[in-house]
A and B are shown apart, each in its own frame.
Chain A
């Protein structure tokens, strides 16, 4: 992800790109930083790459970490069953999985339209990591990674999500941008919070006074909510 070449190198380097986003961003920051200030040495740190002050080349990257008071295997299993994700991902209408490890994500777009993105698993470590990327020719060029790490003591599990994508152009891109990419950082943040709520409390908090006033209900009826 540090350079265009990494991403463009095809299917073989899929995991390296996906799993390496954090580190690679550090490297990209290093490169940019040195170029801008040749007389000063890079003073690297341990912060996640997506908290860097700079942006990186062609890809937009968003990342977020949430601590969930549940065991790692339980959270991993929930995520690995991709069909669970629309419960917490507001803009994802459905995820269908096919036998060859591919998934088709149906994402809501304005005016009742939907966009489909086909992804494949790029790497998986049981209980620790799932990485995916869009397949060749997909409408959105994207990849993502979710990691599961034991939190200290009895605090549960730290779940980290990183999504990188190439903001697409054209008509379809415009729709996608509105539906999914407009505020991907906010979307990721809210989706992870909803995941936390569902896992820790068995439900997703809403202040709606009636069932037809929840966000989910209003989205399905096509109304904008605030």
Chain B
């Protein structure tokens, strides 16, 4: 089959590789109809996530048709399914308490050591996201092997196009959980850093949860325009002082809740960020935590911090004083996708959530490498790229 494979920093290619097959009893094989490039794929593309090997198939947002099932799979051939990016067994403690992204059994035993050293305990398995999370082949391919197919995939009705339901795999639940983690109350003013897909869905979710005001922060005019179209007010950090603006726009109190939908590769020329750019360039596993620092400064005393943006390592100059003295709460984590797919599918089906407004490009799988390059370099106009293995190149 054809698949998008990682070969090094800024080097991804569409190669011919062996087709997947059923390996374990609960597996299913999915023929991919749509798969997206995620903002977090750019962290792999930029080489700032450890544990990628040449030939790894990327992609963790995908959907398609069931073409083969293991003896313990509950899926049936021909069903259309969207597959969560988190691989979850359904039987361990974390799955039972719906913390699916912390599944204890999906990352192969011999792959758990690296993340256990980094984080204290091992990560769960994720599709197409380095050997830190299991080294599973991802979905930017013609076919994918889906383990625990009785737990993860959600069957979608035929009348909903791929474009409408594909994002149930990651970014829609991630935006929703980001807002949920911000514990939004009806009179809250909420600030969201990053108007990429997750930030935009977080804005949409925060407003749906009744936030009085949502303020979107970015520097790409088109992305800010998308945020405005959802009902957010905007701050362009190239034009305005973010902290001053947020203080004023929250009536001098500080914002009630902050959502960092940027993560470890923040843009901007702030001093701390430039220091951390330098550290990443020379290979020190440093997270660029400029946004998180700013978010912690911007949130009011007793406020709420939600971190859907991906961080992977360590950071310096973290504002521990503000963290403690302000009595803030922080919630974060990879998304517990399986917990959200069903209620969010209902919102899509009843028309209360539109997921298609941020799609800017649809490409054949063969053009995936160009998709990565443009998604990285032309972020203003390339807001979301969907790859279609079936589309003529």
Would you call A55 an interface residue if the criterion is a C-beta within 8 Å of the partner chain's C-beta atoms? no
Q: What's the minimum C-beta distance from A149 to chain B, rounded to whole angstroms?
A: 16
Asked if B107 is at the interface (CB within 8 A of a chain A CB), the reply is yes
Query: In the complex, which residues 60-118 of chain A have their Cβ closer than 8 Å to any Cβ of chain B?
Result: 67, 69
User: Which residue in B72, B104, B125 is a CB contact (below 8 Å) of A207?
Assistant: B125
Q: Does A123 lie at the interface of the complex (its beta carbon under 8 Å from any beta carbon of B)?
A: no
Nearest chain B CB to A114 CB, angstrom units: 21
Within the complex, the shortest CB–CB distance from B135 to chain A, in Å, comes to 4
> When the two chains form the complex, which single residue of A69, A186, A189, A191 contacts B93, counting CB atoms closer than 8 Å?
A69
Are the C-beta atoms of B148 and A201 separated by less than 8 Å?
Answer: yes
Interface status of B23 (Cβ within 8 A of chain A): yes
What B residues does A204 contact at CB under 8 A?
24, 108-109
CB–CB B93/A67 < 8 A: yes
- Which residues of chain B from 1 to 22 have any CB-CB distance to chain A below 8 Å in the complex? 17-21
- Are B93 and A190 interface neighbours, CB within 8 A? no
A205 at the interface (CB under 8 A from B): yes
A156 to B108, CA, bound (A): 21
Interface residues of B in 113-156 (CB under 8 A from A): 113, 125, 134-137, 145, 147-148
Nearest CB in chain B: distance from A186 CB, A:
7
Closest B-chain residue to A215, C-beta based? B110
- Nearest chain A CB to B74 CB, angstrom units: 13
Determine if A196 and B23 form an interchain contact, defined as CB atoms under 8 angstroms apart. no
* A209 in contact (CB, < 8 A): yes
Q: Is the CB of A205 within 8 A of B147?
A: yes
**What is the distance, in angstroms, from B21's C-beta to the closest C-beta of chain A?**
5
The majority secondary structure among interface residues of chain B is loop
Among A188-211, those with CB < 8 Å from B are 189-191, 193-194, 196-197, 200-211
Chain B residue numbers with a CB within 8 Å of A206 are 23-24, 108
A11 within 8 A of B: no
A: contact size bracket: 20 to 34
Is A13 on the interface with B (CB-CB < 8 A)?
no
**Is B323 an interface residue when CB atoms closer than 8 A count as contact?**
no
Would you give the shortest CB distance from A51 to chain B, in whole angstroms? 15
B25 & A203 in contact (Cβ 8 Å cutoff): yes
Question: When chains A and B are docked, how far (Å) is the Cα of A205 from the Cα of B105?
Answer: 7
Distance of A83 Cα from B248 Cα, bound (Å)? 70
Determine whether the beta carbon of A197 is less than 8 Å from that of B109. yes
Q: B93 to chain A: which residues have CB within 8 Å? A: 67, 69, 155-156
How long is the Cα–Cα vector from A164 to B342 in the complex, in angstroms? Answer: 50
Any chain B CB within 8 A of the CB of A214?
Answer: yes
Report the bound CA distance from A200 to B134 in whole Å: 18
Q: Beyond the given A191-B109, A205-B125, A205-B134, could you list 13 further A-B residue pairs with CB under 8 A, ordered by the A residue number?
A: A189-B109, A190-B109, A190-B110, A197-B89, A200-B91, A200-B105, A202-B72, A205-B106, A207-B125, A207-B137, A209-B23, A209-B145, A211-B21
Cβ contacts A to B, 30 pairs, < 8 Å: A69-B91, A155-B93, A156-B93, A189-B113, A190-B109, A190-B110, A196-B104, A197-B89, A197-B105, A200-B105, A201-B90, A201-B91, A201-B92, A201-B148, A203-B72, A205-B125, A205-B134, A206-B23, A207-B111, A207-B125, A207-B134, A207-B135, A207-B137, A209-B20, A209-B21, A209-B137, A210-B19, A210-B20, A211-B21, A214-B23
User: Which residues of B are in contact with A by a Cβ distance under 8 Å?
Assistant: 17-21, 23-26, 72, 89-93, 96, 104-113, 125, 134-137, 145, 147-148
Task: List the 3 closest A-B pairs by CB distance, nearest first.
Answer: A193-B109, A200-B91, A190-B109
